[in-house]
Amino acid sequence: MAADPVRTRFAPSPNGPLHLGHAWAAIVAHDRARRDCGQFLLRIEDIDGARSRAELIEQTLDNLAWLGLTWDGPVVLQSARVGGHVAAAERLKAMGLLYPCQCTRSEIAAAATRHGPDGLVYPGTCRGRAVDPAGAAWRLDMGAAMALAGVLTWHDEIAGEQTARPDLFGDVVLLRKDAPSSYHLSATLDDAADGITVVTRGADLFAATHVHRLLQALLGLPVPVWHHHALLVEAAPDGGPPRKLAKRRGSPALSDRRAAHEDGRALADALRAGRFPDGVWAGTGVT
Ligand code: GLU
Whether the CA torsion 275, 281, 285, 286 is positive or negative: it is: negative
How far does the centroid of ligand 1 lie from the alpha carbon of residue 116, in Å? 19
pLDDT, mean over the chain = 94
Residue 21's CB is within 10 A of a number of other CB atoms, namely 20
pLDDT value of residue 286: 47
Percent of the chain with pLDDT over 70: 97
What residues does each domain of the chain span?
7-82+182-283
Whether the CA torsion 98, 101, 106, 110 is positive or negative: it is: negative
Mean pLDDT, residues 189-207:
97
Confidence of residue 179 (pLDDT cuts 50, 70, 90): confident
Give the relative orientation of helices 208-219 and 82-94 as an angle to the nearest 10 degrees. Answer: 70
DSSP letters of 97-129?
-EEEE---HHHHHHH---EETTEEPP--TTTTS
Pocket test residue of 30, 45, 190 for ligand 1, highest count of atoms within 8 A of CB: 45
Residue 250's CB is within 10 A of a number of other CB atoms, namely 9
Nearest CA to ligand 1 atom 6: 11
Asked if residue 229 has its Cβ within 6 Å of ligand 1, the reply is no
Asked if residue 45 has its Cβ within 6 Å of ligand 1, the reply is yes
Three-class secondary structure of residue 283 per DSSP: coil
Asked if residue 100 has its Cβ within 6 Å of ligand 1, the reply is no
Confidence of residue 47 (pLDDT cuts 50, 70, 90): very high
What distance, in Å, lies between the first and last C-alpha atoms of the chain? 35
Pick the CATH number of 7-82+182-283 from 2.60.120.10, 3.40.250.10, 3.40.366.10, 3.40.50.620: 3.40.50.620
CA distance 170 to 121: 6
Asked if residue 26 has its Cβ within 6 Å of ligand 1, the reply is no
Asked if residue 12 has its Cβ within 6 Å of ligand 1, the reply is yes
Residue 285 has pLDDT above 70, yes or no: no
Closest atom of ligand 1 to CA, residue 208: 9
What residues contact 188, with CB distance under 8 A and at least 6 apart? 212, 215, 216, 219, 221
How far does the centroid of ligand 1 lie from the alpha carbon of residue 73, in Å? 19
Give the CA distances from residue 172 to residues 19, 59, 188, in Å, rounded to whole numbers and listed in that order: 29, 32, 14
Task: Specify the DSSP class assigned to residue 253.
Answer: B
Closest atom of ligand 1 to CA, residue 12: 4
Confidence of residue 250 (pLDDT cuts 50, 70, 90): low
CA distance 2 to 87: 33
Which DSSP helix (H) or strand (E) runs through 265?
helix 264-272
How far does the centroid of ligand 1 lie from the alpha carbon of residue 44, in Å? 9
Closest atom of ligand 1 to CA, residue 187: 9
pLDDT value of residue 248: 62
Asked if residue 201 has its Cβ within 6 Å of ligand 1, the reply is yes
Query: Are the C-beta atoms of 101 and 136 separated by less than 8 Å?
Result: yes
Query: Are the C-beta atoms of 81 and 44 separated by less than 8 Å?
Result: no
Asked if residue 203 has its Cβ within 6 Å of ligand 1, the reply is no
pLDDT value of residue 213: 99
Burial call 191-216: b when 16+ CB within 10 Å, e when fewer: bbebebbbbbbbbebbbbbbbbbbbb
pLDDT value of residue 252: 83
Closest atom of ligand 1 to CA, residue 191: 9
Closest atom of ligand 1 to CA, residue 45: 1
